[in-house]
């Protein structure tokens, strides 16, 4: 293709490289990546799970995938900061579109998400998934554990999501269920940013947001990395892990959370781990302000991709004092 201007998502025959795009126009795939379900040679498939029937307070995060894609446009126009390389020259990334769900038959939801994930993972492609509410992590982790064995979970969240399990679809119980089922190895896992109470830790290491504020980035990373070791690591990022002053667009906001700079510093410090997948959930656009929540989610997702690009050998030039 000679005219590399505009609508890469539809027009490109490639899954790498960068087009010239108007940030305020064009097709809104994530980071302007090509929409395709052909995963031949693809490193990462970005996918949305537009489901929010399991929320316990404010709804709306079924529209999260759409908002995150829209917020990603500026992240697709320059070399990645602070990594200093062109992400799209180093990693084959596609937008796989959204998982099709039938909300009128809720008994089918969990299996539909799990089957969706299994199809992608069977192609030896990693997943970056946008919710939707946090329940979607449960079938996603089931699919990853089937491929990789019990996983180490790194969870950024205001809530533990390990409350008493009633067996239903609830975005506050699924990680306790996953530990009981043996698909999460709690002895290798860490929850970061918590600031709600539960009288059981389910075996996780819990680094509350006040602890992170007092002890800092390096101390937090040391604990996370020591626990995870070489275990396959799945990152689940509830956007309410950020303080609502930085991410108001979510269904269950709790004050006192991480600043966006803290979250990004923590994520960027996880590159040496055995990263197998990630989800970013609970973005509810109706409660957002100037798209700052969606932008936080898109940036977290972008930086995760940069960590995967580094594992493929991407190297960049640092600027300024980092």
The pLDDT of residue 65 = 97
The pLDDT of residue 3 = 66
Domains of the chain: which residue ranges? 8-311
Domain 8-311, CATH homologous superfamily name and number: Ureohydrolase domain (3.40.800.10)
> What is the signed CA dihedral for 98, 251, 208, 228, rounded to 10 degrees?
-10
- Residue 169's Cα: distance from chain center in Å? 20
pTM of the model as a whole: 0.94
Number of H-type helices and E-type strands within the chain: 9, 8
The pLDDT of residue 14 = 77
- Residue 318's Cα: distance from chain center in Å? 25
CA–CA gap between residue 144 and residue 187 (Å, rounded): 18
The pLDDT of residue 1 = 42
pLDDT tens by residue, 33-83: 999 999 999 999 999 999 999 899 999 999 999 999 999 999 999 999 999
The pLDDT of residue 258 = 98
First to last CA, the chain: 38
The pLDDT of residue 165 = 86
If phi > 0 it is left, if psi is from -120 to 50 it is alpha, else beta; for residue 282 that is: left
pLDDT tens by residue, 183-203: 999 999 999 999 999 888 899
CA–CA gap between residue 144 and residue 278 (Å, rounded): 10
Bridging pattern class, strands 205-207 and 44-49: unpaired
CB 251 within 8 A of CB 62: no
If phi > 0 it is left, if psi is from -120 to 50 it is alpha, else beta; for residue 41 that is: left
> Residues in the chain with pLDDT < 50?
1-2
CA–CA gap between residue 192 and residue 158 (Å, rounded): 8
CB 306 within 8 A of CB 300: no
The pLDDT of residue 58 = 93
Residue 97 β-bridge partners: 47
């Amino acid at each position: 293709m000679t005219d590399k201007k505009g609508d890469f998502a539809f027009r490109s025959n490639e899954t790498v490289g960068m087009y010239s795009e108007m940030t305020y126009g064009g097709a809104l795939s994530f980071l302007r990546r090509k929409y395709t379900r052909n995963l031949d040679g693809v490193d990462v498939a970005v996918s949305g799970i537009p489901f929010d029937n399991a929320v316990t307070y404010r709804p709306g995060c079924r529209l999260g995938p759409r908002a995150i894609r829209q917020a990603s446009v500026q992240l697709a126009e320059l070399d990645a900061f602070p990594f200093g390389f062109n992400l799209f020259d180093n990693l084959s990334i596609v937008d796989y579109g959204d998982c099709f769900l039938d909300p009128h038959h809720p008994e089918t939801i969990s299996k539909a998400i799990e089957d969706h994930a299994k199809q992608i993972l069977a192609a030896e492609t990693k997943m970056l998934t946008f919710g939707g509410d946090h329940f979607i992590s449960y079938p996603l982790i089931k699919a990853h554990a089937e491929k990789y064995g019990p996983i180490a979970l790194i969870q950024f969240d205001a809530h533990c999501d390990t409350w008493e399990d009633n067996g239903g679809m609830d975005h506050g119980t699924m990680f306790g269920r996953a530990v009981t089922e043996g698909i999460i190895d709690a002895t290798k896992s860490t929850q970061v940013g918590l600031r709600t109470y539960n009288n059981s830790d389910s075996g996780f290491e819990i680094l509350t947001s006040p602890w992170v504020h007092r002890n800092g980035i390096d101390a937090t990373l040391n604990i996370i990395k020591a626990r995870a070791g070489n275990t396959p690591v799945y990152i689940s990022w509830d956007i309410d892990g950020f303080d609502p002053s930085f991410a108001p667009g979510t269904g269950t906001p709790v004050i006192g959370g991480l600043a966006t700079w803290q979250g990004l510093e923590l994520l960027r410090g996880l590159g040496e781990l055995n990263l197998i997948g990630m989800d970013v959930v609970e973005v509810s656009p109706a409660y957002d302000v100037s798209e700052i929540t969606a932008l936080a989610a898109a940036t977290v997702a972008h930086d995760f991709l940069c960590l995967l690009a580094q594992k493929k050998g991407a190297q960049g030039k640092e600027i300024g004092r980092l």
